[in-house]
């Protein structure tokens, strides 16, 4: 009896894997619609889908740890970390102005 149950369970595992892949593809399609994502070519779409799937896997792994926060999908979920940093972190950096001198009594202002 155990052998039959084991065989049945092992035989349906590929079906669950396909279902999981289908769900992941559906998640990418939903992501595209929600954030208005359009790609220039099928190759670019496949690349973005792979990145999205990797990010989704990371989100699921972090959320499974029951931390004090949860991660979610946003409009940047089809970017690698490096792409995100290149696009967004530069915006956050403020230009250091060296031409401004502040005169505060008792303080030394480096030249």
d(CA 45, CA 40): 8
Please, are residues 4 and 13 in contact by the beta-carbon 8 Å criterion?
Answer: no
Q: Average pLDDT of the chain?
A: 78
Q: Which CATH class is domain 2-92?
A: mainly alpha
**62 or 2, higher pLDDT:** 62
d(CA 89, CA 86): 6
SS3 content of the chain, % helix, strand, coil (to 5): 60, 0, 40
With a CB cutoff of 8 Å and minimum separation 6, the contacts of 107 are none
Residues 37-46 have a mean pLDDT of 97
pLDDT band at 2; cut points 50, 70, 90: low
- 3-class secondary-structure state, position 18: helix
50-78 per-position pLDDT tens digit: 999 999 999 999 999 999 999 999 999 99
Residue 16: how many CB atoms within 10 A of its CB? 10
86-110 per-position pLDDT tens digit: 888 766 665 555 555 555 566 666 6
How far from chain centre, in Å, is Cα 95?
A: 28
pLDDT above 50 for 6: no
**27 or 111, higher pLDDT:** 27
pLDDT above 90 for 15: no
Residues 23-38 have a mean pLDDT of 92
Angle, CA 57 vertex, CA 56 and CA 63 arms, to 5°: 90
């Amino acid at each position: 009896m155990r052998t039959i149950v084991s065989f049945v369970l092992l035989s349906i595992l590929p079906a669950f894997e396909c279902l999981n892949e289908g769900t992941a593809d559906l998640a990418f399609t939903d992501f595209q619609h929600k954030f208005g994502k359009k790609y220039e070519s099928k190759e670019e779409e496949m690349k973005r889908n792979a990145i999205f799937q990797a990010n989704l896997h990371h989100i699921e792994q972090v959320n499974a740890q029951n931390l004090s926060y949860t991660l979610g999908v946003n409009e940047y979920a089809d970017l690698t970390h490096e792409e995100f940093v290149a696009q967004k972190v530069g915006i956050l950096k403020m230009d250091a102005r060296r031409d401004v001198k502040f005169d505060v009594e008792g303080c030394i202002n480096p030249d």
